[in-house]
Amino acid sequence: MRVAIFVSGRGSNMEAILNEKKKGNLPNAEIALVLSDKADAPALEKANAAGVKTVFVDSKPYRKNREGYDAEVLKVLREHNIEFIVLAGFMRIITPVLIEAFSHRIINIHPALLPAFPGLHAQKQALDYGVKVSGYTVHFVDAGMDTGPIILQTAIPVNPDDTEDTLSARILEFEHRLLPRALDLATSRRLRVDGRKVYLL
């Protein structure tokens, strides 16, 4: 299955996927494209170094037209025969233009145990709320903010002395394991979605 990874920054989750692919652990995923909305995203350089095709789609002309931006992205995806999308630190909200074209074929990783603490600064939200356990979630993307059907989750204890930075770093370390696993399950057609529930086959 031809996969595009969407990035906006460093691309550490993208690197985790590429490393797993290099090890032979993603036999049904062909990483065909890395796409970014930021021309200077370090992830693009890393992808190029790994021999993966990269594309920058400038969002500036579409500041007031998110659907227009996604329509442009969709053209790029079709040009490259993309079948599946991974959001790996992509800091834009996906619109129905892409969601409808890739129904149950877009996954995202979020640094909290959804449905708790959606959106930005999830770790800060968790600490401010005083939770004893946080974690991360891989989910399918729908039209809401981090509301799609949940594929995989892992819980991580919150330490009394945790800061947003320390909790984020600990969660990120485990994210690097979970996102490639979810991608493998999806591209191996081992997931079945029934309403809000995702079953592992």
Structural domains in the chain (count):
1
Alpha helix positions (H), the chain:
12-22, 42-49, 66-79, 96-101, 122-129, 164-187
Residue 39: helix, strand or coil by DSSP? coil
At residue 39, does pLDDT exceed 90? Answer: yes
Joined tokens for residue 146? 């981090």
At residue 23, does pLDDT exceed 90? Answer: yes
Q: What is the pLDDT of residue 174?
A: 86
At residue 53, does pLDDT exceed 90? Answer: yes
Q: What is the pLDDT of residue 82?
A: 98
pLDDT over 70 percentage in the chain: 100
Range of 91's domain? 2-200
Q: What is the pLDDT of residue 87?
A: 98
Indicate which CATH number applies to the domain containing 39: 3.40.50.170
Which residues form the catalytic set?
A: 110
Q: What is the pLDDT of residue 11?
A: 95
| Interatomic CA distance for residues 179 and 197, integer angstroms | 18
pLDDT in tens, 134-178: 999 999 999 999 999 999 999 999 999 999 999 999 998 888 999
Joined tokens for residue 182? 């979810």
What pTM did the predictor assign? 0.96
Q: What is the pLDDT of residue 36?
A: 98
At residue 22, does pLDDT exceed 90? Answer: yes
Antiparallel, parallel or unpaired: β 54-56 and 30-36: parallel
* Residue 94 and residue 106 in contact, taking contact as beta carbons nearer than 8 Å: yes
Share the mean pLDDT of the chain: 96
